[in-house]
Structure 1
């Protein structure tokens, strides 16, 4: 009986090690992608684009059109109420 328990412990340890190694590889890939994104923003800035606005546009493009339009309408209503726009 102890052999079965020992084998299952070894299998569990191997599985844990493999999972951790997968996460480590993915973290490395994520860092590489983040570096690539940073390079693109640096290139855009060097070309004269406003990176802050680009980031806002990218965030907005992730939002479904209906949700974005609804949020923009509410934002406009609030800005009118605060006298920020007429």
Structure 2
């Protein structure tokens, strides 16, 4: 039984350490992304719009089309569109 507990403890420690490594890698990647946005902003690009484009590019075509249709409908209902209701 003691061997099982020891193996389990070692296995748990291994998982925890791997997760900690991945969390650090994630932080490093997030820092790099922030740097890219900062450079783009320094060159005059609108980073809010860039983030929206990236979010849209992650969506599949059907979901993106549905979201764009809903946005257009909401804008039209609120009088924020050139199109008549």
Match of 2:27 among 27, 31, 38: 31
Please state how far the C-alpha of 1:82 moved relative to its aligned partner: 1.4
Matched residues in 1 for 2:40 and 2:71: separation?
A: 28
The alignment's C-alpha RMSD in Å is 0.8
Q: Structure 1: give runs of 5+ residues left out of the alignment.
A: none
TM superposition score normalised by structure 2: 0.91
Task: Tell me the equivalent position of 2:52.
Answer: 56
The structural deviation recorded for 1:77 is 1.4
Partner of 2:11: 15
Deviation at 1:17, TM superposition (A): 0.5
Q: How many residues align?
A: 82
Q: CA–CA distance in 2 between the matches of 1:44 and 1:65?
A: 27
The TM-score, its normalising length taken from structure 1, stands at 0.90
